Copies of this chain bind each other. A is one copy, B any other.
């Protein structure tokens, strides 16, 4: 199973890809897609949808995972996050992936052993978990890897 994890956002969407080898979770790739506030809203959503679909196909992902909830800022930010989330979800679906959703607190709990972990803590735990030499950056890509790891951990539990 090759898992594409997504941490959605309108300005910056992180992605992280891991491969499950028996009971190990192996790092494949991570990065981000950015759009600019000056672009038309629809152009930003089309770009995110198409890039997510493309990375899923390019990496040969067979499963998708995405953050489900939201971190409270304001209504406008919540709606923008919803738009980015939908674009990413539809991109993964268009690539033929089944997509699982995980609440941010669950993702942090899974990779760091307890909830409410700091951003830097999540990135460091992702680094340790995947045996990387450096902490994956930016934070959005580290979070996306954390979501992918969470899907691996839960699929593993479900398989017992």
Contact = CB atoms under 8 A, between A and B. Distances in A.
A49 B101 contact: no
User: Which size class do A's interface residues fall under?
Assistant: 20 to 34
A78 B82 contact: yes
A108 interface: no
Contacts of A80: 82
A123 to B, nearest CB: 25
Interface stretch (A14-22, A24-32, A84-92, A111-119): A84-92
A79 B80 CA distance: 7
A101 B70 contact: no
A86 to B, nearest CB: 4
Given A42-B93, A85-B86, 6 more contacts: A42-B89, A42-B90, A42-B99, A45-B90, A70-B75, A75-B75
Interface of A: 41-42, 45-46, 49, 70, 72, 75-76, 78-87, 89-90, 93, 99, 101
